[in-house]
């Protein structure tokens, strides 16, 4: 069961981890990754690398992102919002 933190701290932690992962995969500095960046187009990360990152994030945050929700993840903010919403849902 994930540790519940105040929402702003939790979102900041989620965003930091997402951005760090995307920076590592894209070989870009984390400071250059904006919330509205398109993961595939702007960061030029291929879909396999995105899926591997999502799997790592699922494990880290003890969640499971349904495939239909993965398809909706287009931007950095979409990924942060998806993770945050799953952490808040009961049974996750």
Mean pLDDT by runs of 10 across the 92 residues of the chain is 59 96 96 96 95 96 94 96 86 49
- pLDDT for residue 22: 97
- The predicted model scores a pTM of 0.85
Evaluate whether 43 touches 22 at the Cβ level (below 8 Å).
yes
Domains of the chain listed by start with CATH number: 7-88 (1.10.1200.10)
């Amino acid at each position: 069961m994930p540790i519940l933190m105040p929402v702003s701290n939790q979102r900041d932690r989620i965003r930091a981890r997402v951005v760090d992962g995307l920076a590592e995969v894209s070989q870009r500095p984390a400071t250059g990754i904006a919330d509205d960046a398109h993961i595939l187009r702007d960061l030029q990360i291929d879909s396999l690398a995105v899926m591997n990152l999502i799997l790592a994030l699922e494990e880290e945050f003890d969640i499971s992102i349904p495939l239909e929700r993965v398809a909706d993840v287009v931007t950095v903010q979409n990924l942060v919002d998806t993770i945050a919403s799953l952490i808040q849902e009961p049974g996750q």
